Structure 1
Amino acid sequence: MESIAPLWLWVVFVAIVIAALFIDFVVLSKQGSHVVGVKEALRWSLVWVALSFMFNAFFWWAVKDSTGSTEIANEKALEFLTGYLIEKSLAVDNIFVFLLIFTYFAVPAAYQKRVLMIGIVGAIVLRTVMILVGGWLISEFHWILYVFGAFLVLTGLKMWWAAGKEESLEDNPALKLLRKVLPVSKNFDGEKFWTVENGKRIATPLFMVICLVGLTDVIFAVDSIPAIFAITKDPFIVLTSNVFAILGLRAMFFLLQAAASRFHLLNYGLAVILVFIGTKMMLIDVFKIPVAVSLGVVLSILVITMIWSSKTAPNT
């Protein structure tokens, strides 16, 4: 798998991610368990978005410096921006499922932040592995792009069909399996994942939540990672745009949690985006849709869907 990024840029990226996670965990430990308000969520969301844009600017400079071409730097930076926007958009669907999980288990608001932080670290590790494997598969078997494309189109159609329908975890097979394998306490024990009842060590509901959040990310990674390979085959751009989108997931969760009802139609827009990206991937050897066009289409779909949602949002 070839990448335009030099080795030192990979090192810089890893250092930035480690530093960002360290700062986030330090802030988390100092604050302790508390309810994250809209202002705090908005502030942190802006921080993560700003960090992503600053990294993209640095990436643009690094590519220009190593290649001596402004045109190539512009193209690669645009690929990062498009990939970041797609991953950020698809992360919204993750958030709605997280909301469903937290509601089903009645997770106290003060404990949700820690669950999300652990989920983010797990998602970064998981997606790094999946991206490297996916990149190798594409480099060895070009035809797999058509498989990924068809899968995205089918996923988009399925998402459109399921949008607006009432969801429930009651019949979730993963949840049923976890309950069979693990004895689970009926009550939370602070932020602990394990507790002791009648002299036996058993899982708390919070541990079940962590497991389901992890499984959810596995499922959504299968959708989102092929989507970004339709934009670029460069593993550095695929990985960095994915990770920077994930880093802001915790703050975005609490931000959208307060405004979930105003984005009740967003899944329709995400479904259209998946179908578009899947179609783009299947046509890659026939007609290559420019990255700028892809960015414009994704942005337009998101804006239209958000306006549509706001105009039809139920009165609260």
Structure 2
Amino acid sequence: MLALDLGVFHRHSHVVSVKEAAIWSTVWICLGLAFSIFIYFAYDGQWFGLGTVPDPVDGIINTGRTAAIKYLTGYVVEKSLSIDNIFVIAMIFGSFGVPPMYQHRVLFWGVVGALVLRGVMIGAGAALVARFHWILLVFGAFLLFAGLKLLFTKEKEQEGEHFLVKFLSKYIPMTQGFHGQHFIVRAGSAASHEPAVPGEAAVEDLAVESAKPNRILFTPLALALIVVEFSDIVFAVDSIPAIFAITGEAFIVFTSNIFAIMGLRSLFFLLAGMIDKFRYIKKALAFVLLLVGFKIIFADWLRTILGEHFNLILLGLILFILSLGVVASLLFPQKATKDSNEAG
């Protein structure tokens, strides 16, 4: 699907419209939800050995129904946490001045890198959970900390990203401006003289002109991609422990992550322009992290009280919290600042 996306549907760089983003978001969400049907039958029929060993988190052998509920819960958690990532990516693109027509290209390769990095992190996490069950308590405590931090910390600049930009700019040969859709150009090549956007006049790039012929130079587009990857690693530190609080089945953890991330690009173009309107989403995400952290620490007690519907109730609570955040944002929108009122 990723190859089809870039190789066919987005073969040529263009500005992704809201309509196109809405269509692709719907496609990816439908695929993500539909995969729960495969999960159900795979675990119910014990295909490929799935559903034959106890889940490392709760010690229960997952039936088709239980596995599907855990997958959907993980998918919803990962999808909701990616909304916060969208806000950061929008700031990264704004700070680098990435032309809108190239943003999809950056996000595509960002998703490819995220899948690889998360695959490694999930594999390591699954091994730790299977071998050291007490690590779940560490995950739970971390999620409580992350939830409280998100709940009470005000917006601030991404210091780590600024440090990364300064470090890379100092030690990696860079061009001064964008050169088409290229991440890397060779000094003296045709690509090194391409304008930032097709149809615009080429601007002299002193870094290219002063470099030795054929020297490899990274463009600001490459730097933006690296920072996007870095931001995903930061968010994965929160999201991956959250999914391991739900299940230790590596197959469910990885597939729920894949489908949540795959729709990130189209969701970005759909929500980036209106993310500020949902002022209570961050609060809702904070409560989701707190709920999942509380669940993993007090899992045995909660399972005794709630019984066999424990995982279904958790999914319902997460959906309720997120819906409440959206509704509250629509009912109580951000008021215009005093300065903006005076300017008007």
Pair 1:57-2:77 in alignment? no
Shift of 1:315: 7.1
User: Of the two, which has the highest radius of gyration?
Assistant: 2
- 2:23 aligns with 43
- 1:210 aligns with 225
Pair 1:27-2:8 in alignment? yes
SS in 2 for 1:172: helix
Pair 1:158-2:149 in alignment? yes
Is contact 1:101–1:169 with CA below 8 Å preserved after alignment?
no
Q: Which amino acid aligns with 2:293?
A: G
Classify 1:151/1:89 alpha carbon distance in 2 versus 1 (closer, same or farther; 3 Å): same
Is contact 1:45–1:251 with CA below 8 Å preserved after alignment?
yes
Distance 1:75 1:265 in 2: 31
Distance 1:219 1:169 in 2: 12
Is contact 1:104–1:169 with CA below 8 Å preserved after alignment?
no
Shift of 1:76: 0.9
Pair 1:76-2:67 in alignment? yes
Q: Which amino acid aligns with 1:132?
A: G
SS in 2 for 1:103: helix
Moved more, 179-188 or 45-54: 179-188
Is contact 2:278–2:330 with CA below 8 Å preserved after alignment?
yes
Shift of 1:187: 1.0
- 2:341 aligns with none
Pair 1:185-2:175 in alignment? yes
Is contact 2:161–2:230 with CA below 8 Å preserved after alignment?
no
Shift of 1:204: 1.1
Shift of 1:285: 4.2
Shift of 1:28: 4.4
| Cα deviation digits, residues 228-269 of structure 1 (max 9, x gap) | 111111111111111110111111110111321222321111
Q: Which amino acid aligns with 1:173?
A: F
Q: TM-score, normalised by structure 1?
A: 0.87
Query: Which of 94, 98, 106 lines up with 1:103 in the alignment?
Result: 94
- 1:16 aligns with none
- 1:12 aligns with none
Is contact 1:80–1:238 with CA below 8 Å preserved after alignment?
yes
Alignment of 1:180-259 (within 5 A): 180-195=170-185, 196=187, 197=208, 198-200=210-212, 201-259=216-274
Is contact 2:161–2:227 with CA below 8 Å preserved after alignment?
no
Shift of 1:92: 0.7
Pair 1:148-2:155 in alignment? no
SS in 2 for 1:142: coil
Distance 2:43 2:67 in 1: 8
- 2:342 aligns with none
Distance 1:190 1:282 in 2: 51
Query: Which of 275, 278, 283 lines up with 1:268 in the alignment?
Result: 283
Distance 2:161 2:265 in 1: 27
Distance 1:52 1:294 in 2: 19
Query: Which of 109, 114, 126 lines up with 1:118 in the alignment?
Result: 109
SS in 1 for 2:295: helix
Distance 2:77 2:33 in 1: 15
Pair 1:90-2:81 in alignment? yes
Shift of 1:121: 0.6
SS in 1 for 2:173: coil
Is contact 1:45–1:252 with CA below 8 Å preserved after alignment?
yes
Q: Which has the higher helix share?
A: 1
SS in 2 for 1:202: strand
- 1:293 aligns with 313
Is contact 1:149–1:277 with CA below 8 Å preserved after alignment?
yes
Shift of 1:132: 0.9
Distance 2:244 2:219 in 1: 38
Aligned length: 294
Q: TM-score, normalised by structure 2?
A: 0.80
Classify 1:171/1:49 alpha carbon distance in 2 versus 1 (closer, same or farther; 3 Å): closer
- 1:7 aligns with none
Q: Which amino acid aligns with 1:123?
A: A
Distance 1:183 1:143 in 2: 46
SS in 1 for 2:181: coil
- 2:326 aligns with 306
Distance 1:140 1:168 in 2: 35
| Cα deviation digits, residues 95-152 of structure 1 (max 9, x gap) | 1110110010111100000000001111111111111100100111111111111111
Gaps of 5+ in 1: 1-19
Shift of 1:54: 1.9
Q: Which amino acid aligns with 1:26?
A: G
Distance 1:241 1:24 in 2: 20
Shift of 1:295: 0.6
Classify 1:140/1:234 alpha carbon distance in 2 versus 1 (closer, same or farther; 3 Å): same
Distance 1:120 1:253 in 2: 12
SS in 2 for 1:187: coil
SS in 1 for 2:248: coil
RMSD: 2.2
